[in-house]
Structure 1
Amino acid sequence: MGSPKKNQSQGGFFSAMTSGLSMFSNAMHRSVNGLLGYEGVEVINPEGGKEDAEEEAQRGRWKQEERDSYWKMMQKYIGADVTSMVTLPVLIFEPMTMLQKMAELMEYTHLLDQADECEDPYLRLVYASSWAISVYFAYQRTWKPFNPILGETYEMANHGGITFISEQISHHPPMSAGHAENEHFTYDVTSKLKTKFLGNSLDVYPVGRTRVTLKRDGVVLDLVPPPTKVNNLIFGRTWVDSPGEMVMTNLTTGDKVVLYFQPCGWFGANRYEVDGYVYNADEEPKILMTGKWSESMSYQPCDLEGEPLPGTELKEVWHLAQTPANDKFQYTCFAHKINSFDTAPKKLLASDSRLRPDRWALEKGDLSKAGAEKSSLEERQRAEKRIREAKGDHFTPKWFDQTEEVTPTPWGDLEVYRFNGKYTEHRNGIENSIATDTSDVQSTEFNPWQYALSDE
């Protein structure tokens, strides 16, 4: 395969790279199972169909009359951003919020630990980008997470020495911020999703900034993920794909990794496939990477033409952990852990997602109560907005501060928020009282509100 030129766009390079299997080395050939052997073939009909719709109905998503009614309502939103403007029925939700879903990136953080310990700057990017890819198996779930209430939080502890906190910092537009760290890395994200409703599908654009700082050398990594497409949203069997490029850049050295997520074709061809290269600051390929975001990723040193170096072989860097069979919500074991109070610190914040009554009711299988509680929370949020506007106040996040920085992304500009360290002070301040705390955290009333009830 020819070496990518400096004046050649990444899109053009990857179009050339994926246009024919003959351009790949034997190592690449072994990984592209979708085209070679149809391993794990899955019949995907991009347009949806009766059989797919019937299968989806059996999974408890929609009854046909519900689909027809919802379709009539949604037609007016075609082409619009529906991130926070449409009220959705609770039957298509999973018992998790977007703040919790952000925490799913923490499952394979041992890869970031390895990146921090790694001496090789290119192998460091192999570890770090594999960590970024690892979450896509969880992201393929087609159940919708709850939109967080303004001021809602999620805390996680008891996982690999990691402390994680996320907070909903804006409602219109929906924005979240997150921070995590252990002895090897810090992770900071400001997230603002942008959507485009296309009728029976939804495009999701990750207008966000993700930064990972590796503590040993102070290396800063910047991540730009690909967009996501939810197919057969209303009619047919719903499925998720993320075709496009993922770019992780070492802002300290200029090295980067560019990975192309293959779009899914008919009969599942190319689905899950990821291929690409780690480049040095001069944009010369140093390591090829290949695999499936649903299974594993491997790497191999390469020459300037992108071909594997003689005497080297593919080495696996990440493999999917065992997942529960026939799980109702397609959760991984880690997703169940995120929902559990076992990962919650003692004296959990009352604003934590686990305590939401609608989420809690849905987890117990009470759809009627979940729907009623969801409506109640949304009305409370609207009421609080009216109070805030009447007072002339502005919502101020508790654990994150807005900076003056506005960073460009491929899908729009983003106001950047920074972890202010107050959560660390909060946690440290209550450590001494935890040993004598006998309260039942599950009995804590969900309370993300800025104003007291008496103010309403």
Structure 2
Amino acid sequence: MAQNQGGGGGGFFSSIASSFSSFKNQVCLDHIFSLLGYEGLEVINPEGGTDDAEVEAQRGRWKGEERDSYWRSMQKYVGADITSMVTLPVLIFEPMTMLQKMAELMEYSHLLELADECEDPHMRLVYTACWFISVYYALQRTWKPFNPILGETYEMVNHCGITFIAEQVSHHPPISAAHAENEHFVYDITSKVKTKFLGNNIDVYPLGRTRLKLKKDGVILELVPPPTKVNNLIFGRTWIDSPGEMVLTNLTTGDKVVLYFQPCGWFGAGRYEVDGYVYNSNEEPKILMTGKWNESMSYQPCDLEGEPLPKTELKEVWRVAESPADDKFQYTHFAHKINSFTTAPKKLLPSDSRLRPDRYALEMGDLSKAGSEKSILEEKQRAEKRVRESKGQEFVPKWFDQTNQVAPTPWGDLEIYEYNGKYTEHRASADSSGTAEEANINTTEFNPWQFGNVAESS
């Protein structure tokens, strides 16, 4: 069984996963790539072993000449943080921005209703932990979302009474902030990532602060997610793994959940598996949790040794909803809703991600136009920065305020932004107005600029 200390990993599958994870780094093609000038690149097939790594290397969405060209341009960045250093081709993008992707966590918000109404403090953690795990099904998509423009926003309504607002509050370093609320919960996040480019793979470290308040009892929970590894960026089929610990702490009571995301081993051993425990404030296990982040999660009461209690059974608490078949970008039904105007409020802000011309062109399948529109937006962003600096002014977010807080995370310090409440006032005013203005991608110009929508030629 798993270790019975709150800081430990382990669980049902840890002994199996540990025996396989050591093989992962052995699937290296030095003997092949040394002949091609690609020394040190690692291709990992999650469904196989070393014998088929050479075949796996030739798969993926890149054409041969594009793959070679991309590697030549990227090899100088090996070992570096490439969060905002590299301009990437739209070939690898999905028609969604990072702000929209942040909103995908809201899909299974009914779990927070159950948590808010739950009297058992440990079951409350089961529901909230499953809610946080649920977004990993969306995060496994291998397409890259667009980086938000400074000042870009995303609004969402018409889902479980939730009002969601996200804003890109910093460009260097890239930082996004979001706030969501309904009658059961308040959710706030400051999101920043740190990366390490490893040639054919990239490690992603989430330097975010995520806090959730359940309104009925006023408890506040804080999340520390595991890091993520994106495998086979250039050679082979891209796939994503998130090995490590997720820790969800009830800051009010001291109870917590520690869940271990198993690393993917040889022939897919351990892939997707999650297991761990809910602990009380004395770090005694109370409930075991197990499942797969791409399928479902279940729970069962346990004793102080972490063993299931007699006469109890494993009960499912969350399961992934059915997704569209053969969707080009592996979108869920909810992801399509996020991209549509059905979840947009009246008087949508012109800075909203839905209105981005590059995102929309990609959604329509026009890669050439998407690429040119993306370049235009990036140049406008640089031009606006020059205007701002020439005036001696600083960018100030509209819906979030930068605080004096610097929060430590396992991977570095994070500047904290807090929701300032102004969007609530704006939305109340817009909703009470007599006009029902609907945004239209063809008539509403994308405009996040605070210092002039500078033309590309400026």
1:70-109 Cα offsets, whole Å, 9 max, x none, are: 1011110000000000000111100000000000000001
Aligned equivalents of 1:407, 1:231: Cα separation in 2: 29
Matched, 1:217 2:217: yes
Deviation at residue 116 of structure 1 after TM alignment: 0.4
SS of equivalent residue, structure 2 residue 401: strand
Matched, 1:14 2:18: no
Matched, 1:334 2:349: no
Q: Which amino acid in 2 is paired with 1:400?
A: F
Q: Which amino acid in 1 is paired with 2:363?
A: E
SS of equivalent residue, structure 2 residue 85: coil
2:346–2:438 CA contact under 8 A, matched in 1: no
Q: Which one of 30, 40, 47 corresponds to residue 43 of structure 1?
A: 47
Q: How many residues align?
A: 429
2:48–2:266 CA contact under 8 A, matched in 1: yes
**Gapped regions of structure 1 (runs ≥ 5):** 22-40
1:202-213 matched pairs, under 5 angstroms: 202-213=202-213
TM-aligned CA distance change 1:233 to 1:453, over 3 Å = closer
1:403-434 Cα offsets, whole Å, 9 max, x none, are: 11111000001111100010010011122325
Aligned equivalents of 2:92, 2:49: Cα separation in 1: 21
TM-aligned CA distance change 1:438 to 1:403, over 3 Å = closer
1:306-328 Cα offsets, whole Å, 9 max, x none, are: 00000000000000000111110
TM-aligned CA distance change 1:151 to 1:230, over 3 Å = same
2:27 is matched with none
2:275 is matched with 275
Deviation at residue 437 of structure 1 after TM alignment: 3.5
1:52 is matched with 56
2:2–2:276 CA contact under 8 A, matched in 1: no
2:3–2:11 CA contact under 8 A, matched in 1: no
TM-aligned CA distance change 1:437 to 1:329, over 3 Å = closer
TM-aligned CA distance change 1:52 to 1:408, over 3 Å = same
Aligned equivalents of 1:351, 1:134: Cα separation in 2: 28
Q: Which amino acid in 1 is paired with 2:175?
A: M
Aligned equivalents of 2:238, 2:16: Cα separation in 1: 29
Deviation at residue 206 of structure 1 after TM alignment: 0.3
Aligned equivalents of 1:334, 1:188: Cα separation in 2: 21
2:78–2:199 CA contact under 8 A, matched in 1: yes
Aligned equivalents of 1:46, 1:434: Cα separation in 2: 65
1:105 is matched with 105
RMSD between aligned alpha carbons? 2.0
1:116-138 Cα offsets, whole Å, 9 max, x none, are: 00000000000000000001011
1:36 is matched with none
Aligned equivalents of 2:48, 2:237: Cα separation in 1: 9
Aligned equivalents of 1:200, 1:48: Cα separation in 2: 17
2:200 is matched with 200
Aligned equivalents of 2:226, 2:438: Cα separation in 1: 45
Deviation at residue 452 of structure 1 after TM alignment: 2.2
Aligned equivalents of 1:143, 1:346: Cα separation in 2: 30
**Gapped regions of structure 2 (runs ≥ 5):** 18-44
SS of equivalent residue, structure 2 residue 193: strand
1:346–1:434 CA contact under 8 A, matched in 2: no
2:25 is matched with none
Aligned equivalents of 2:13, 2:211: Cα separation in 1: 28
Deviation at residue 15 of structure 1 after TM alignment: 8.2
Q: Which amino acid in 2 is paired with 1:214?
A: L
2:46–2:264 CA contact under 8 A, matched in 1: no
Q: Which amino acid in 2 is paired with 1:228?
A: T
Matched, 1:367 2:371: no
Aligned equivalents of 1:438, 1:282: Cα separation in 2: 53
Q: Which amino acid in 2 is paired with 1:91?
A: L
Q: Is 195-204 or 441-450 further displaced after alignment?
A: 441-450
TM-aligned CA distance change 1:133 to 1:429, over 3 Å = same
Deviation at residue 443 of structure 1 after TM alignment: 1.8
1:85-96 matched pairs, under 5 angstroms: 85-96=85-96
SS of equivalent residue, structure 2 residue 210: strand
Q: Which amino acid in 2 is paired with 1:68?
A: D
1:22-44 Cα offsets, whole Å, 9 max, x none, are: xxxxxxxxxxxxxxxxxxx9725
Task: State the TM-score, normalized to the length of structure 1.
Answer: 0.90
Q: Which amino acid in 1 is paired with 2:350?
A: A
Task: State the TM-score, normalized to the length of structure 2.
Answer: 0.90
Q: Percent identity?
A: 73
Aligned equivalents of 1:347, 1:115: Cα separation in 2: 33
Q: Which amino acid in 2 is paired with 1:123?
A: M
2:347–2:438 CA contact under 8 A, matched in 1: no
2:446 is matched with 446
1:116–1:184 CA contact under 8 A, matched in 2: yes
1:179 is matched with 179
Aligned equivalents of 2:170, 2:247: Cα separation in 1: 27
